[in-house]
Structure 1
C-alpha cells in the first residue's frame, strides 16, 4: 500500500514560463482538479483549476495562487486521504525526498484499491457510537460486536473532544438488535446507523463509508 505502487506518469509538470492556456487545455483533457508546477527542476506546488480561467499570460502571473502540497513516494496510501480532502483535490503530486516530481496518484485509483478490502467491500452495517473519552476502548467495542457473533470489519475515530469520542464501525449484519442492546448496556450511545443486507446496495454502502472516512 505504498504510494510508489500507484504512481501514474502521464500528467505533465509545468514551468512558470508555460502559458496559462496550455495548462488549461491539458487540465481539461485530463479532467483533474489541479495542475502541478516545477521550479529549478524541483516540484514547486499545485494550482487549482479555477485560477486558470481568471486571466491569460503565463503561470508566473498566478504564482501567488500556488498551493504547496504533495506526498512522498514512500508514504502509505492512507496518508493521501487527508490531502484529497483538505485541498479539495482529485489528484495529488508524488515527489521523492529530493523534491523531484515523479508523477501523481488520483482519488479514483485510491478509492478503487481501498474498496477491495472487507472494510469497504463487504455488505454490512455501519454504526457511529459515542462514549465518554475516559472510558474509550476499541478492544471493548470489538468485543461487544464479536460476542454477539458478528464480524468486526474495521473502525475509525470520526469525532473526538475532551469529553466524548465517536467511533464509526463496519460490522456484518448478524444479530444487530442484540448488538444495539449490548452497546446500550455498556453505556454507548448509537449516534447513527445504516443497515444494508441487499447486494444492490453494496456500492452505495461502500461509497458512503469512504466519504465518512475521508472527512475525518
Structure 2
C-alpha cells in the first residue's frame, strides 16, 4: 500500500462521523481498551496521558465521542499492555469514571492458574 493510499484512508476515517456502534467495536482490537466518561469541563488529555504513562503503559489510540447531553464525553484509550489493572486503579484513585474495559487474560491470571493447578496436583498425591 502506498503512502498516498494510507494518508487517504486516514483522512477518510477522520472525516467520517463515528457512530456509537463504531465506538464500541474498538473493544475487539488487540491489547487493552479503557473507556472513560469524563465531564467535558474536566477533560484534560495531559492528565489522562500522565496517569497511563505513570503505570508504564502507552496510549496507542485515542478516540473521543461526545455524549448527547453535551456535558460529558466518552474517551476510548487503546493501550499497549495486555493487563491494564494498574491503570484502572489509578483512574479510580483520581476519580475518573471507567465505563468499560477490555483486556486479554493477563500474566497475573496465568500465574494464579498455574499455582492452583500445582496445589491441586499436590493435594491429589
TM-score category (smaller protein): 0.5 to 0.7
Stretches of 4+ moved more than 3 A in 1? 82-86
Q: SS of the counterpart of 1:167?
A: strand
2:5 and 2:80 map into 1 onto residues whose CA distance is 30
* 1:168 and 2:100 aligned: no
Please give the alpha-carbon distance, in whole angstroms, between the structure 1 residues aligned to 2:18 and 2:87.
Answer: 32
3-state SS of 2:57 partner:
coil
Larger radius of gyration: 1
- Larger relative helix fraction: 2
SS in 2 for 1:166: strand
Give the conservation status (yes or no) of the 8 Å contact 1:142–1:152. yes
Match of 2:42 in 1: 135
Larger relative contact order (Cα-Cα within 8 Å, sequence gap ≥ 6) = 2
Residue in 2 aligned with 1:181?
89
Q: Which residue of 1 aligns with 2:122?
A: none
Partner residue, 2:9: 77
> Structure 2: how far apart are the matches of 1:85 and 1:79?
13
83 and 174 in structure 1: CA distance in 2 versus 1, 3 angstrom threshold: closer
SS at match of 2:65: strand
Structure 2 unaligned residues grouped into runs of 5+: 20-28, 107-125
| Equivalent residues, number | 95
CA RMSD of aligned residues (A): 3.3
Q: Which of 65, 71, 75 pairs up with 1:158?
A: 65
